[in-house]
Structure 1
């Protein structure tokens, strides 16, 4: 079975890549250089794809800074830091990139149909980042219908399936799954701040550090700040 995996180089997408391999898929990975603030994630994606032995890794480039609208694509919008973890998912944060997963899934769908793939894997999660509208189950269900209606493969045969294995998992459960699958966490990148070392204080860093801490594990990445990691 062939699959296209959306690979950012972060903790979630890397786990999904290894899950696709465990599921017996021949994996084509796809990453996106959309001029995001945290460009180091693309280096991480390349390392993860190599470590996992994917058959092909494509990096698609386009510029979402042309219209901004997100802390990840507009330097005038600050990345939130030191927020209370329990508050992170209460509203759509400024790190939301307008329609990003719709853009990504559109590329992945075209790639998958061209390759004759049966599945597209995506690492969306509705627990830690339920504030993101394009990480929720109803969104994935809607995009599955797009996959069915918008392709030759969907109209004439079996539609390409969207597989979102992490969507209902907590971050601690994702790390446990990744440990079981052998994900090399030291190669991944989660920080949003755009530096050469993970900041430790943005939402993504704090959620990641808190999850490792809750499991009694040490995150192998170096951080500029390793502050309190609980749900305060």
Structure 2
């Protein structure tokens, strides 16, 4: 009998490759945590599409009201900054699937090292197991694996600013581009700003934060139309502080 397990799906490269990697090894049950931010519109679409393709049952856990109750400022809500968020994201899927006690997550090397000691204590208290098959890998290695497994990388999303298109300048976008370059795999992603990660890094050093925000982030936010003007103005002011 095939063992059942939860898989945490985000719509990103790591969890998508993980789903392909595990699909023939386990009877997977997907969990997607929805916080109600614009980028997650696209992420949820991709997760639903992936779940259907790989025949993974999916539960969407709605945390949008939870986040709103904190009254977080715009920059925190866009970047999903909730204290000990990863703990919430571990406990919620086990609550959604109370009969399962194993979950797979797509954490990479640096992410795993930062969470290992706390995770081990949580596991010992709660009696479940969180498995991180990619915890010794960096993103470029996951991309190489994904290419071998036939993953369509256009069906993944990394940008934390927009769900319509990758901005090309936020840290996850830069990490995505850099990883494809390191993996020597063609990057099929369409970026709004067609700048290399090194070029963006250089600009962020040469320009003041205010100049960088006004020159790059504001035009992009206004282009996507995903945020009300007042929200954009407030966000830009916070970022410039």
Q: What TM-score does the superposition give when structure 2 sets the normalisation length?
A: 0.72
Q: Higher helix proportion, which one?
A: 2
Shift of 1:143: 2.5
Distance 1:76 1:144 in 2: 31
Shift of 1:149: 2.4
Structure with larger RCO (C-alpha < 8 A, sep 6+): 1
1:109 equivalenced with 2:94 (yes/no): yes
Structure ID, larger Rg: 2
- Structure 1 stretches of 4+ with a deviation exceeding 4 A read 76-79
Provide, for residues 24-81 of structure 1, a one-character-per-residue CA deviation record: whole Å limited to 9, x for no partner.
Answer: 1001000011123412211121122222221x11111122133255xxxx425597xx
Give 2:115's match in structure 1, choosing from 118, 127, 139: 139
Distance 1:98 1:18 in 2: 30
1:43 equivalenced with 2:45 (yes/no): yes
Shift of 1:138: 5.9
Shift of 1:193: 0.8
Q: SS in structure 2 opposite 1:218?
A: coil
1:220 equivalenced with 2:163 (yes/no): no
Maintained 8 Å contact 1:120/1:162: yes
Per the alignment, residue 97 of structure 1 pairs with 82
Per the alignment, residue 174 of structure 1 pairs with 142
Per the alignment, residue 85 of structure 1 pairs with none
Any stretches of 5+ residues in structure 1 without a counterpart? 80-93, 128-134, 155-159
1:183 equivalenced with 2:151 (yes/no): yes
Count of paired positions: 195
Maintained 8 Å contact 1:33/1:60: yes
Relative to 1, partners in 2 of residues 1:178 and 1:76: Cα closer, same or farther, differing over 3 Å? closer
Relative to 1, partners in 2 of residues 1:97 and 1:19: Cα closer, same or farther, differing over 3 Å? farther
Any stretches of 5+ residues in structure 2 without a counterpart? 202-241
RMSD across aligned positions (CA): 2.4
Distance 1:163 1:192 in 2: 25
Distance 1:3 1:177 in 2: 21
